[in-house]
Amino acid sequence: MAAGNAIDPMHQFEISKIAEFKLFGFDLSFTNSSLWMVIAVSVVSFITIFGTSSRAMVPGRLQSLAEMSYEFVANILTGVTGKEGMRFFPLVFSLFMFVLAANMLGLLPGSFTVTSHIIVTAAFAVLVILTVIVAGVINHGTHFLHLFVPSGLPALLLPFIVMIEVISFISRPISLALRLFGNMLAGHVALKLFGAFTVGLLGAGAASVFAPFPLITAVALTALEFLVAFLQAYVFTILTCVYLNDALHPGH
């Protein structure tokens, strides 16, 4: 089939080197992934720093966007963890904006989706869970371990409950990483498949009358993917807040 090369939904996730760079035997080349990370950071910085440079009392568009993002994330954080959670605001805000920017930029045709690589989402998840553990131990010392030992439990049940709690704690970063990765990956694969299907049908003689159907699906999917891009950034952020809440208020 001629379209064999076109229908390769994994091609969009391939990492290609832009500038070779090696350090201590590691391949640290500047790739398309690195480029889109830089673009995501630039976009976020442009909105939040350049957009607010006039410090207008009545905000313009960019400043409104920056303020809306600030208040959106601040509301999530204080809503879940209370006022003291604002200590983690820079981290949570950076996470939300980076993930949102990466997800959204990934929907540009021909771009690369940084968050469709599990190593990136896993790195974020590890960062979040390490922050939870470090902040929890600093704030509460050994009392943080009460997270795994619910109070008022019969001694007989204790080992099982502790085991369940430990497993649930360990599964948090895994689910955090896999959810974002899986959503981004699957959405882009589906988009690519329907797009390629449309092209394939167009080149298939009489069958080309059916080409509009996958095209319509692809358009609808694109709209859905914009929703998913936002929603996954939101879910990642709100779960981060929920886990940080454990660091601030351990025990059930």
For position 233 contacting another protein by CB under 8 A, the verdict is no
CB of 125 to another protein, least distance (A): 7
Q: How far apart are CA 145 and CA 155, in angstroms?
A: 17
- Within residues 162-181, the interface with another protein by CB under 8 A covers 170, 173-174, 177-178, 181
Query: Is the CB of 26 or the CB of 110 nearer to another protein?
Result: 26
Question: At residue 20, what are phi and psi to the nearest 5 degrees?
Answer: -70, 140
SS3 letters for 124-169?
A: HHHHHHHHHHHHHHHHHHHHHHHHCCCCCCCCCCHHHHHHHHHHHH
Q: Verify binding: residue 29, another protein, rule CB under 8 A.
A: yes
CB 9, CB 192: distance < 8 Å: yes
Closer Cβ to another protein, 10 or 153, answer by number: 10
Among the listed residues 103, 116, 237, 240, the single contact to another protein using CB under 8 A: 116
13 binds another protein (CB under 8 A): yes
Site for another protein contains 84 (CB under 8 A):
no
For the chain, how are helix, strand and coil distributed in percent, rounded to 5?
A: 75, 5, 20
* Cβ-based nearer residue to another protein, 130 or 209: 130
- Total Cβ atoms within 10 A of residue 184: 28
In terms of CB distance, is 103 or 116 closer to another protein?
116
Pick between residue 80 and residue 97 the one whose CB is nearest to another protein: 97
Nearest approach, Cβ of 22 to another protein (angstroms)?
A: 10
* Interface residue with another protein, options 117, 146, 179, 249 (CB under 8 A): 117
Sites for another protein among residues 43-62 (CB under 8 A): 44-45, 48-49, 52, 55-57, 59
27 contacts another protein (rule: CB under 8 A): yes
Q: Are 125 and 133 in contact (CB under 8 A)?
A: no
Helices (H) and strands (E) in the chain, counts: 6, 4
Bridge partner residues of 66 (DSSP): none
> Strand 17-19 to strand 30-31: parallel, antiparallel, or no bridges (unpaired)?
antiparallel
Give CA–CA dist 143/147, Å, rounded: 8
Comparison of 181 and 243: residue with beta carbon closer to another protein: 181
Verify binding: residue 185, another protein, rule CB under 8 A. Answer: yes
Is 90 near another protein (CB under 8 A)? yes
Q: According to CB under 8 A, which one of 7, 62, 107, 122 is a site residue for another protein?
A: 122
CA 155 to chain CA mean position, Å: 40
